[in-house]
């Protein structure tokens, strides 16, 4: 990944661009970020209007403005937007990632949502279920919508309406440490393609390097944990719940749980650790394989100072090793932008969505440099196309992105992740019988989903 500081033409010395990435991408947009200490004191869409001089003020709730790694880049990008759109001002409301979904639901109920918000994963559908999100098809033209990954459009569709537009893509990939593989007698250019091959590789790694983590996999009891494991469940043919209700007491789920039990009993995984805790460890060559998003590269390089060339020599990324289903899967845990029905400035909000999601400046300086993620556009041009031309990003685009699958987000997911992940934690920490755990998950899911 080409870091911001390494680029010859930064946003401070490069002429401002006044065109979207694939003109005319026509995506109007949403923007901003800022946190409210009190929900009722928040600046809602009803309060955001047009001043006497015709300037529109948009409120933008997001978590990017609360995090040290993304705040400066976001603020600069919003300033760029305001420079190019002098009739639109952005009030950024920073709200933590763990809180923003619940706060948006509460603000909808209180009648004071922002104009736009940054959401992700199940939060998007939890907010959509309040029927408070504006149908974006009424504000974005077909050319704009067709310019982004069709899987992202599907992922932002709720009850037949596009209500969330992709800001960044952040799919999960199977990363492998080439040096550790070679030292363990494995072919560093042939990562495991199946679960059986993976188990052989993990055994070789464990034997050669008993002190390192063979597989970095987040199995913590939280929505992210289920999102991280959904692809693994799917490749075993298991879907513990969905539109038809609970389906955890199945042979496929038992087989998946049995495999997870084997991983834990052989010390191939560390059950109590979140994915962010594995990344610095991986930067020190203490993780052989890791199931992680594209942000992994940036974190490793920031930790150990690797150049792009050194990283590509040390690490590769590919699709999930396949299980009984024979198909690899990946869950895109990217970020989306939404407009609320209460907004009095939906067209201005749409202008901001277009800018954040598709303009070359925003993609180069925020999406790829600050967020360390992939843009949702299908035909990148100019500097974006140049930055996308790396082994890692091409692997995501050509191999991993086509394997996207969407978990059953919404109220079902909110109710179901707890029983599933509690059962998985029982498997990986106590050595419980997989068949008994699957039956227990099924019972708890039936109660939770009733």
pLDDT tens, residue by residue, 48-99: 466 667 899 999 999 999 999 899 999 999 999 999 999 999 999 999 998 9
Residue pLDDT, tens place only, 158-173: 999 999 999 999 999 9
Residue 407 C-beta-side C-alpha neighbours within 13 Å: 32
Question: Which of 318, 348, 368 finishes a domain?
Answer: 318
> Do 176 and 94 belong to one domain?
no
> Do 177 and 165 belong to one domain?
no
Q: Indicate if the alpha-carbon torsion angle 188, 190, 194, 199 is positive or negative.
A: negative
Q: Looking at the domain assignment, is residue 448 inside a domain?
A: no
- Tell me how far CA of residue 309 lies from CA of 45, 56, 290, 317, in angstroms: 47, 45, 20, 15
Alpha carbons 32 and 42: distance in angstroms, whole number? 14
Residue 261 belongs to domain with CATH number? 3.40.190.10
The whole-number average pLDDT for the span 195-200 is: 98
Question: Which of 318, 346, 369 finishes a domain?
Answer: 318
Question: Which of 257, 289, 318 finishes a domain?
Answer: 318
> Do 342 and 286 belong to one domain?
no
> Do 125 and 33 belong to one domain?
yes
Q: Looking at the domain assignment, is residue 423 inside a domain?
A: no
Torsion of CA 371, 364, 141, 148, to 10 degrees: -70
> Do 27 and 94 belong to one domain?
yes
Task: Give the pLDDT score at 35.
Answer: 36
54-91 burial, b if ≥16 CB within 10 A, otherwise e?
eebbbbbbbbbbbeeebbebbbbbbebbbebbeebbbb
> Do 247 and 140 belong to one domain?
no
Residue pLDDT, tens place only, 15-59: 333 333 433 333 333 333 333 333 333 444 444 466 667 899 999
> Do 246 and 119 belong to one domain?
no
> Do 159 and 16 belong to one domain?
yes
Q: Looking at the domain assignment, is residue 111 inside a domain?
A: yes
Task: Give the pLDDT score at 151.
Answer: 87
Tally of structural domains, the chain? 2
> Do 197 and 147 belong to one domain?
no
Alpha carbons 91 and 78: distance in angstroms, whole number? 10
> Do 83 and 151 belong to one domain?
yes
Structure tokens at 403: 């394997």
Question: Domain limits at 280?
Answer: 172-318
- 89 φ, ψ to 5°? -115, 145
Residue pLDDT, tens place only, 278-305: 999 999 999 999 999 999 999 999 999 9
Contacts for 389 with CB less than 8 Å, ≥ 6 apart = none
Task: Give the pLDDT score at 252.
Answer: 98
> Do 42 and 165 belong to one domain?
yes
Q: Looking at the domain assignment, is residue 343 inside a domain?
A: yes
Structure tokens at 318: 């590919």
> Do 73 and 161 belong to one domain?
yes
């Amino acid at each position: 990944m080409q870091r911001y500081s390494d680029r010859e033409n930064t946003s401070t010395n490069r002429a401002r661009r006044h065109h979207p990435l694939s003109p005319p991408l026509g995506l109007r947009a949403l923007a901003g970020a800022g946190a409210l200490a009190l929900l009722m004191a928040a600046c809602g869409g009803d309060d955001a209007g047009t001043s006497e001089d015709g300037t529109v003020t948009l409120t933008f709730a997001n978590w990017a403005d609360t995090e040290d790694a993304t705040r400066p880049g976001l603020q600069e990008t919003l300033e760029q937007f305001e420079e190019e759109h002098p009739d639109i001002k952005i009030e950024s409301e920073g709200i933590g990632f763990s809180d923003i979904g619940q706060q948006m639901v509460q603000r909808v109920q209180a009648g004071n949502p922002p104009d736009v918000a940054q959401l992700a994963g199940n939060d998007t559908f939890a907010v959509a279920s309040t029927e408070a999100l504006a149908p974006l098809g009424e504000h974005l033209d077909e050319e704009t919508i067709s310019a982004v990954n069709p899987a992202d459009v599907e992922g932002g569709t709720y009850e037949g309406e596009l209500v969330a537009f992709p800001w960044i893509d952040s799919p999960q990939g199977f990363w492998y440490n080439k040096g550790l593989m070679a030292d363990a007698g494995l072919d560093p250019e042939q990562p495991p393609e199946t679960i059986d091959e993976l188990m052989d590789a993990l055994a070789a790694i464990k034997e050669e390097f008993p002190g390192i983590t063979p597989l970095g996999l987040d199995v913590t009891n939280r929505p992210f944990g289920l999102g991280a494991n959904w692809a693994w469940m799917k490749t075993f043919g298991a879907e513990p719940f969905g539109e038809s209700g609970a389906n955890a007491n199945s042979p496929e789920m038992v087989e998946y749980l049995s495999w997870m039990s084997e991983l834990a009993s052989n010390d191939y995984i560390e059950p109590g650790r979140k994915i962010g805790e594995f990344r610095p460890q991986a930067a020190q060559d203490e993780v052989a394989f890791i199931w992680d998003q594209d942000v992994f590269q940036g974190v490793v390089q920031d930790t150990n100072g690797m150049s792009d060339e050194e990283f590509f020599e040390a690490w590769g990324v590919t699709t999930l090793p396949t299980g009984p289903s024979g198909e690899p899967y990946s869950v895109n845990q990217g970020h989306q932008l939404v407009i609320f029905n209460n907004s009095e400035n939906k067209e201005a909000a749409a202008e901001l969505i277009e800018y954040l999601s598709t303009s070359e400046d925003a993609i180069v300086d925020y999406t790829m440099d600050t967020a360390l993620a992939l843009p949702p556009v299908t035909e990148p041009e100019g500097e974006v196309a140049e930055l996308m031309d790396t082994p890692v990003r091409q692997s995501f685009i050509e191999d991993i992105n086509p394997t996207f699958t969407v978990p059953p987000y919404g109220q079902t997911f909110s109710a179901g992740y707890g029983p599933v992940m509690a059962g998985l934690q029982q498997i990986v920490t106590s050595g419980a019988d997989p068949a008994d755990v699957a039956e227990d998950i099924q019972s708890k899911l039936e109660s939770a989903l009733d």
